[in-house]
Every structure is written in structure tokens, then in C-alpha cells.
């Protein structure tokens, strides 16, 4: 747990234009998806790709008049990773910890999602804590605390045919990494940051967040033949897998194009994953 009350990444919020088409696309990629959820009173819904400790959220607009303008505006431009939700066990305690660091956050907001399960309707609940843009520059983020975690992870949702087991982290494309050092040191402490040349690596719990220019992202991933969707933006989503050969076999079986990145990684272009460039990596955890 960091001094800000943040334990790592809880999930990535990824708006998509057609939830049902996205469900089929991510099933083809080898993921088991949750049942469809509806955010009560917000005009949006989702399918979630659950792992033991984090997840990906495919987020769609169901009722445009009720959906927040920021999501409508984002989807007019593109699909893909939009926001990162930090994990915290308690949003109120995190707000107190942030205030001790001189960081304003909040107020704490409640969110409920309705999902249909074989045994009936369930309503997972969350507490959300907003962060000002200059708190995590280059990365649109907020804090998320689960109030009903037992409703979020069913055994069948955690067994992914491509052998995925969790998020390893993300790579964020930015214009310049130097201005990011002070804000992230303030939030997480200098021991959790490391600068190599102009690439900034932040470790939060079990996750790694890499900030780099578009040119440096290209150098780190020579297999990638595409540019970041925007600056700043989440350019690469890295997913841990149990067996990289099983991952590649599944992609090949479903005729999903991919590129090998050494012996222990494969990369799927963003066109196959609603704007999310996916890096599957065989690694512990």
C-alpha cells in the first residue's frame, strides 16, 4: 500500500461504441466475460474481463441523454483505454491520506451496477474518488473501492482460454516525461519511480506504469506498426498470461493477427481490441 492509500491498478475503463460487438471481439481474443452490467441512473453499461485482483472494463453508452458528456466526446474521437482506476480498500481513508500529502480529492461518490446472474439480479456497489488532472498528469485516473467484492469474481469469469491471469501494467504515451516526476513522487514516494534516459517507470503494488514519448514507445516495441491514438494516452495494455504458447495458439486458432515480441510476449494490434494495443507477457503472478 502506498502512502496515498493506493494499492495498485483496480481496472482500466475502456469505452466502446458497440458493447455487443466488443463482447464478441474480446471473446475471440480468448477472454471470458462477465454478464452485462448496467450502471444505475447513468445511461451506461459494461462487460468486465475479470482477473483475481484487477480487471478490464468494456464500457458502453446505453442511453445517450443520461451518459456523461466526457464519454460521448471520447467515443466521437476513438475507442480504447480512457481512464485508469486505482485500487484502494477504502475511499474515505484514501481521501484522508491524500489530504495529508496536500492533495485534494473527492468527494466520495457511490456507484451501483446491476447484473443478471443465474441465481437472480445482483447489485455490486463501489465508492469512487475523483482526482484532479494535475495529480496524475498524463493519465486520467480516479480511485475505486469495492463495497461488494464477493459479487465481482465468479469462477467462470476468471478462467480465460488465452491463459490470461491479470494486468501487469500500462505504457502511457506523453509529450515529455520530466514534468511527471514531481507529481508522481508526491503521490507514491521517490522510491517507486525510476528514470532511464527519458522513460519514467512507476511501480505501484504489483503493477508497472511506464511513461514514454511516442518515439520511445516505438523503440521499446519495434514490433508495433502503429502510433499512439493521442498524446497523452494509454498506448499499451500489458496482460500477464500463464502460458504464452497457449495464448499464441488461441490467437492463431481464431485467426487473430499478432506479432511475437521475443520468446515470452505477443502483441495484438489495437484494431483487434477496440482501440487497445494488447501485449501478452508470460510472467509470474
225-247 residue pLDDT tens: 999 999 999 999 999 999 999 99
Answer yes or no: are the C-beta atoms of 101 and 186 closer than 8 Å.
Answer: yes
Check whether 255 has a pLDDT greater than 60: yes
- Collapsed DSSP state (helix, strand, coil) of residue 107: strand
- For residue 281, name the pLDDT band (cuts at 50, 70, 90): very high
> What is the distance between the alpha carbons of residues 169 and 41, in angstroms, rounded to a whole number?
31
Is residue 253 classed exposed, middle or buried when 0-12, 13-18 and 19+ CB atoms within 10 A define those classes? exposed
State residue 106's pLDDT score.
79
pLDDT digits (tens, 9 = 90+) for 82-132: 999 999 999 999 999 999 999 988 799 999 999 988 888 999 999 999 999
Check whether 285 has a pLDDT greater than 60: no
State residue 41's pLDDT score.
87
pLDDT digits (tens, 9 = 90+) for 54-72: 999 999 999 999 999 999 9
pLDDT digits (tens, 9 = 90+) for 119-178: 889 999 999 999 999 999 999 999 999 999 988 899 999 999 999 999 999 999 999 999
What is the DSSP secondary structure assignment for residue 53, as one 8-state letter?
Answer: S
Instruction: State how far the alpha carbon of 207 is from the alpha carbons of 11, 77, 171, in Å.
Output: 11, 28, 11
**Rounded to 5°, angle at Cα 139 from 267 and 149:** 80
- For residue 250, name the pLDDT band (cuts at 50, 70, 90): very high
Check whether 1 has a pLDDT greater than 80: no
What's the fold here for domain 8-157? Answer: 2,3-Dihydroxybiphenyl 1,2-Dioxygenase; domain 1 (3.10.180)
State residue 252's pLDDT score.
98
- Three cell numbers, residue 80: 480504447
What's the fold here for domain 161-282? Answer: 2,3-Dihydroxybiphenyl 1,2-Dioxygenase; domain 1 (3.10.180)
Cis peptide before 275 (omega within 30 of 0): no
Query: In the chain, at which residue ranges do the beta strands (DSSP E only) sit?
Result: 8-15, 37-39, 44-50, 55-61, 83-87, 105-117, 120-122, 125-131, 141-146, 164-173, 193-196, 199-204, 207-212, 233-241, 259-260, 265-268, 278-282
- Three cell numbers, residue 189: 514516494
Mean residue pLDDT of the chain comes to 95
> What is the distance between the alpha carbons of residues 146 and 125, in angstroms, rounded to a whole number?
7
* Alpha helices (H) along 16-62: 19-28
DSSP state letters, 219-266: HH-TT--S--SSSSEEEEEEEEES-HHHHHHHHHHTT---EE-SSSEE
State residue 284's pLDDT score.
67
From-to residues of CATH 3.10.180.10 in the chain: 8-157, 161-282
Amino acid at each position: 500500500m502506498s502512502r496515498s492509500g493506493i494499492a495498485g491498478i483496480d481496472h482500466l475503463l475502456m469505452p466502446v461504441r458497440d458493447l455487443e460487438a466488443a463482447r464478441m471481439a474480446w471473446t475471440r481474443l480468448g477472454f471470458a466475460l462477465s454478464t452485462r452490467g448496467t450502471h444505475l441512473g447513468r445511461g451506461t453499461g459494461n462487460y468486465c474481463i475479470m482477473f483475481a485482483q484487477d480487471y478490464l472494463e468494456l464500457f458502453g453508452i446505453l442511453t445517450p441523454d443520461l451518459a456523461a458528456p466526457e464519454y460521448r466526446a471520447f467515443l466521437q474521437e476513438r475507442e480504447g483505454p480512457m481512464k485508469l482506476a486505482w485500487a484502494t480498500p477504502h475511499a474515505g481513508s484514501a481521501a484522508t491520506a491524500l489530504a495529508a500529502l496536500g492533495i485534494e480529492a473527492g468527494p466520495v461518490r457511490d456507484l451501483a451496477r446491476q447484473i443478471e446472474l443465474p441465481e437472480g439480479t445482483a447489485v455490486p456497489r463501489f465508492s469512487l474518488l475523483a482526482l484532479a488532472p494535475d495529480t496524475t498528469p498524463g493519465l486520467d485516473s480516479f480511485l475505486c473501492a469495492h463495497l461488494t467484492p464477493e459479487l465481482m469474481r465468479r469462477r467462470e469469469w476468471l478462467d480465460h482460454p488465452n491463459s490470461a491471469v491479470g494486468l501487469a501494467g500500462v505504457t502511457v504515451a506523453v509529450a515529455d516525461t520530466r514534468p511527471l516526476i514531481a507529481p508522481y513522487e508526491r503521490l507514491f514516494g521517490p522510491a517507486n519511480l525510476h528514470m532511464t534516459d527519458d522513460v519514467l517507470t512507476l511501480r505501484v503494488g504489483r503493477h508497472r506504469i511506464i511513461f514514454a514519448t511516442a518515439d520511445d514507445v516505438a523503440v521499446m516495441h519495434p514490433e508495433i506498426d502503429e502510433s499512439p491514438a493521442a498524446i497523452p494516452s494509454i498506448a499499451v495494455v500489458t496482460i500477464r498470461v500463464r502460458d504464452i504458447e497457449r495464448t499464441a495458439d488461441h490467437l492463431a486458432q481464431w485467426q487473430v493477427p499478432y506479432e511475437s515480441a521475443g520468446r515470452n510476449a505477443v502483441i495484438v494490434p489495437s484494431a483487434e481490441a477496440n482501440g487497445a494495443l494488447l501485449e501478452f507477457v508470460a510472467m509470474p503472478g
